Amino acid sequence: MIYAFRTSVDCPVQVRLRNLDVDLDLLLLPDCAPESCTAASSTPFTHDELIEFTAVAGTDYFVVVDGYDGTAGRYTIEVDCSCGSD
């Protein structure tokens, strides 16, 4: 599964996978190309996954949820953008 987002200001971002029922990984891409992965979380089994980074205003980010060896399952994804408001 691929999710996309963009912020209007530079700010810290946390992306977390919770409540996994299979082994899933979390990847951050600045464009939709796997070779451009800039951050990843790949904990074993059904442990939570977490990526933290500073988003740059106006930049598109792609968050990929990828199953180990093609596995698919249920999860909850949470994105916390502590961007504040101007």
Q: What is the pLDDT of residues 45-56, one digit of tens each?
A: 899 999 999 999
Instruction: Assign domain 2-80 to a CATH class.
Output: mainly beta
40-44: Cβ within 8 A, 24+ apart = 41/17
Nearest 10 degrees: Cα torsion 77, 6, 33, 26: -20
Q: What is the pTM of this model?
A: 0.83
Report how far residue 35's alpha carbon sits from residue 44's, in angstroms, rounded to the nearest whole number: 22
Q: Where are the domains of the chain?
A: 2-80
Report how far residue 18's alpha carbon sits from residue 31's, in angstroms, rounded to the nearest whole number: 24
Q: Tell me the backbone φ, ψ of residue 70, rounded to 5 degrees.
A: 85, 5
Question: What integer pLDDT is reported at residue 81 of this predicted model?
Answer: 85
